[in-house]
Amino acid sequence: MSGREDRPGEGLGTSDPRGVGPGVERQQGVGPGGAEPPSAKADDAGRRAVGGASVRHPATSRGDIVLEGRGITRDYHVSGGFLRGTKVVHAVRGVDFAVPRGKTLAIVGESGCGKSTLARIITLIDPPTSGTLLIEGKPVEISGGRPPRDLRSRVQIVFQNPHGSLNPRQKIGNVLMEPLELNTDLPAAERRDRARGMLEKVGLLPEHFDRYPHMFSGGQRQRIAIARALMVNPAILVLDEPVSALDLSVQAQVLNLLADLQKEFRLTYVFISHDLSVVRHIADEVMVMLRGEVVERGSRDAVFADPQHEYTRTLFAATPVTSLPAIRARVERKAMRREATGQRHPAN
Ligand SMILES: Nc1ncnc2c1ncn2[C@@H]1O[C@H](COP(=O)(O)OP(=O)(O)O)[C@@H](O)[C@H]1O
Ligand SMILES: [Mg+2]
């Protein structure tokens, strides 16, 4: 095992760098209601039902909307089996969203509701069947095949399982430099400098440059995946269950890292998770999906304090919503017990 996960100042005892503990009022909103007159009050304002969904439109001026989706739809044609022809799966059905720069939109919903499909559309991996995606105000042209590389580098994705996305035969330095080789014309020396700089930004060490993925812990591998995503200087990071495979204490560290990076680079996040305690920690706005549709959206505080849609309430009831401070306290108590009994902290 190479190195410890913990960094000074990033441990569990640190306060939330964004100061978004529960109860902190958020001003900024996300949603297609961004065009709402500023006089509308954030909460009651736009509690309106759209197609049976309870949708609260927060009072945000359109401001600097970095990512927007209008009526995004995605159908899959799947084989129904021998002689049964094909059937259509409506994975995403007319989803709207708008995320201001530097903010986090969380997408929640049970498995199969269309979260990853939407993630791939936003990241320009797959085109939508219909609808319009706008990145930094510009509609993405989907008819002409792959979008240009300049546009593709504006949106990057981090998956749940960094094992799958890291080539086991590639040294970390090369993992980080590769996106620059593919997307830029930077000379080799500069690629190397940038990769080393990024290692440090994500809390890894210069000597990690020449190591292989298997030499790292799960949390460290996720740091590498985040570093790789940031190499091309994206505006938007799509995080598809980025901490779901990690231990609780490591989850907290990676979430803190993401919060630091968001602040430093003014990144816009689309954060996908089924874990409401994580969403509560990281989200500015929450969008709840059910069978490909948005059934509720609103500011994190509004949705958590007063969920409007029956499905959101069921989701919340099924998941114990623990705040991050509570998770930290639990992990710290465990660590103290281990210390008292003379056990070593396992490398994470
Ligand atoms: N490549 C694909 N081909 C056919 N069906 C798919 C494909 N990807 C996803 N689906 C279907 O689309 C729906 C949404 O899947 P997905 O976006 O992966 O949901 P989630 O990430 O919320 O679990 C599911 O019914 C899934 O089976
Ligand atoms: Mg998924």
Give DSSP secondary structure letters for 302-345: HHHHS--SHHHHHHHHHS----HHHHHHHHHHHHHHHHHTTPPP
Best residue among 77, 117, 279 to mutate for probing ligand 1, ranked by most atoms within 8 Å of CB: 117
Cα distance between residue 303 and residue 306, in whole Å: 5
Model pTM greater than 0.85? no
Cβ of 91 closer than 6 Å to ligand 1, yes or no, is yes
CB neighbours of residue 149 within 10 Å? 11
- Name residue 132's beta-bridge partners: 70
* Residues in Cβ contact with 218 at an 8 Å cutoff, skipping those fewer than 6 apart: 162, 245, 246, 247, 250, 348
Cβ of 113 closer than 6 Å to ligand 1, yes or no, is yes
Ligand nearest to the CA of 80: 1
Q: Select from 159, 336, 155 the least CA-distant residue to 243.
A: 159
Which domains, from first to last, does the chain contain?
A: 65-329 (3.40.50.300)
Tokens of 236: 């938007």
pLDDT of residue 42: 39
Strands in the chain per DSSP E: 46-50, 53-57, 65-79, 86-100, 104-108, 130-135, 138-139, 155-158, 236-240, 268-272, 285-290, 293-299
pLDDT of residue 62: 63
Output the tens digit of pLDDT for each of the chain's 348 residues: 444 444 433 333 333 333 333 333 333 344 444 333 333 333 443 333 344 455 554 444 567 999 999 999 999 999 877 777 889 999 999 999 999 999 999 999 999 999 999 999 999 999 999 999 999 999 998 766 778 888 999 999 999 986 777 888 999 999 999 999 988 899 999 999 999 999 999 999 999 999 999 999 999 999 999 999 999 999 999 999 999 999 988 999 999 999 999 999 999 999 999 888 899 999 999 999 999 999 999 999 999 999 999 999 998 887 665 556 666 666 677 677 766 766 544 434
Tokens of 10: 């990033």
Cβ of 79 closer than 6 Å to ligand 1, yes or no, is no
pLDDT of residue 35: 39
Cβ of 80 closer than 6 Å to ligand 1, yes or no, is no
Cβ of 112 closer than 6 Å to ligand 1, yes or no, is yes
Cβ burial 54-65 (10 Å sphere, 16+ → b, else e): bbbbbbbeeeeb
Ligand nearest to the CA of 118: 1
